[in-house]
Amino acid sequence: MEADSRNEEHGSREETPSPEAPQEAGKRPRFPVLRKVLKWGGIVVGSLIALLFLAGAVWNYRATRQLEKTLARIEESGGPLTLADLEKEYEESLRGKNGAKYYRAAFELMEENDRPQTLQEELPIAYRERAELGERLSPEELKKAEVYLESNKEFLDFVGKGASCESCVFDLNFTDGWGMLLPHLGKMRDAGRLLKLRGLVEATNGNTERAIETATISFRLAGSLKKEPTLISALVREAILKTAVAQVEYQLSIAQLPNNQLQKLDSAISSEIDMQQHRRAFLGERGFGVWVFGKILDGNDAGLFGSYADSAPPIKMKIRGAFLILLGGPIKNQFSVYLDYMTELIKFTELPPRQARKQVAEYGKEFEKRLEDSGFFHRINNFMLGLLLPALTRAYDALLISHERLSMARVALAIEAYRNDNGSLPLSLDELTPKYIDEIPEDYFSDGKLKFVKLSKGYLIYSVGRDGKDNAGTFNPKRPRLDDKGYDIVFRVVR
């Protein structure tokens, strides 16, 4: 009875509506319009995001397929692609005794005494271009230079031993990518300056035989970097060669050299005319580009790009998950563009120099034109490539100018040999062939040969330079060995 009573009471409570219920049921929701806006706004935004990711996925898929084809085409053509490939090829270039151990010993001495800074402060002549040839060092300069050279005798001995070796391979870890250390490059450059100073001292003192030996070591020093497959190594080598050519220019303006010394110099210079330097430099640039893009895309596409990233520490640009869908496509497109551009440049380096330069210049202009004519989004997407890749055309020209200077130095040596035999300068360069030189070298920047002009005292040999205009051998007196617009590339002898 008691239980039934409780059940009835409980049931009656459930059926009895609360006095407040009618009021709550009749209450209208607040901000109905805002709620609808938020609801439909969320649907629209969600749909747009879904479309964005769908478009990104399609772009990513198509870019991946394009990149796969590009990589496969490059690998089929042969040659190193990754930094690991370049490192292997570099190490295999070692033949005979390795000059690197002697250079390392010299560099340790350099670090102990802070020689580069001292040299630049006390003897800036070793760092600057000499506009006036035929001038010997002043007594004050000569005394300072001799004291400095004597304190660096052991250093120069090690440099000479390193330069005399058949090949030179430094311990470089290419798979570090951007983190690869190249401390030897700056020190090699400083060694070139110190050799230049010794050459000036020996020329001033009239010791031509030792001056020629020093110039020969300078050319071999540059040759020690010949096999390094990086653009920065090629540019440092170019700077050392420019210093070595300046030594020859200075020596020929100081004194007449006998034919045996002229032949020794010619042999040293000829050994450094190596057009494969361009190919190795661009292979290196492509390898570093592959490393960078491989690291950026070392996310969900590890199967495709993991082998190109190698084992270097990751950079802070890895793209993961959803972001890879959105950004992977544009970045892979950039990767393909970069690979195509670099591969074409590498192909051009196999052509004769003049033809190669023309192709490189035209290809660079075509790339800039295509970029300019593409849509706004594509220009933004390839903005960095638009800055980087055309700069490689200028780097190609810089390396070509270095080889042009070597050719001009060889012509000057032939002229000096002619003067030794005939007592006068030739009327034209045609008189030099074939006895003194096999053929007159091409001017890589025009359709003709290198040009020869007699001066009231001495002569000059010149190329028209990058602007392609013949300025009759006009040069910038403040920077005589630099190629500036409106000036020619000049080798002078003022004797």
Under the banding of pLDDT at 50, 70 and 90, the label for residue 305 is very low
Q: Does residue 178 contact residue 317 with C-beta atoms inside 8 Å?
A: no
Under the banding of pLDDT at 50, 70 and 90, the label for residue 31 is low
Under the banding of pLDDT at 50, 70 and 90, the label for residue 55 is confident
Under the banding of pLDDT at 50, 70 and 90, the label for residue 223 is very high
- Asked if pLDDT for residue 220 goes beyond 90, the answer is yes
pLDDT at 164: 94
Q: Does residue 492 contact residue 463 with C-beta atoms inside 8 Å?
A: no
pLDDT at 467: 83
In the DSSP assignment, the letter for residue 26 is T
Q: Does residue 353 contact residue 275 with C-beta atoms inside 8 Å?
A: yes
Computed over every residue of the chain, the mean pLDDT equals 81
In the DSSP assignment, the letter for residue 386 is H
Tell me: cis bond preceding 434? Omega within 30 of 0 counts. Answer: yes
pLDDT digits (tens, 9 = 90+) for 121-147: 666 666 665 546 777 888 888 888 888
pLDDT at 299: 47
- Asked if pLDDT for residue 331 goes beyond 70, the answer is yes
- Return d(Cα 49, Cα 401) in angstroms, integer: 53
Helices 183-204, 115-122: axis angle to 10 degrees equals 40
- Asked if pLDDT for residue 62 goes beyond 80, the answer is yes
The average pLDDT across 262-287 equals 91
pLDDT at 303: 40
pLDDT digits (tens, 9 = 90+) for 372-403: 776 655 556 566 676 677 778 888 888 899 99
pLDDT at 13: 47
pLDDT digits (tens, 9 = 90+) for 236-274: 999 999 999 999 999 999 889 999 999 999 999 999 988
Own/partner pairs, 139-146, CB within 8 angstroms, 24+ separation? 142/201, 142/204, 142/205, 145/197, 145/200, 145/201, 146/201
423 CB-near residues (< 8 Å, 6+ apart)? none
- Return d(Cα 183, Cα 173) in angstroms, integer: 12
The average pLDDT across 17-45 equals 64
Q: How many CB atoms are located within 10 Å of the residue 221 CB?
A: 26
Under the banding of pLDDT at 50, 70 and 90, the label for residue 480 is low
pLDDT at 397: 87
pLDDT at 50: 77
Q: Is residue 98 classed as helix, strand or coil in its secondary structure? A: strand
* Closest by CA position to 155, among listed 102, 97, 227, 76: 102
CA–CA distance from 6 to each of 1, 10, 17, 172, 285 (Å)? 9, 6, 19, 92, 91
The average pLDDT across 359-366 equals 85
Sign of CA dihedral 373, 378, 383, 387: negative
CA–CA distance from 21 to each of 17, 24, 30, 56, 450 (Å)? 7, 5, 18, 53, 105
pLDDT at 163: 95
Percent of the chain past pLDDT 90, that is, above it, reads 36
pLDDT at 78: 77
Under the banding of pLDDT at 50, 70 and 90, the label for residue 425 is very high
- Asked if pLDDT for residue 221 goes beyond 90, the answer is yes
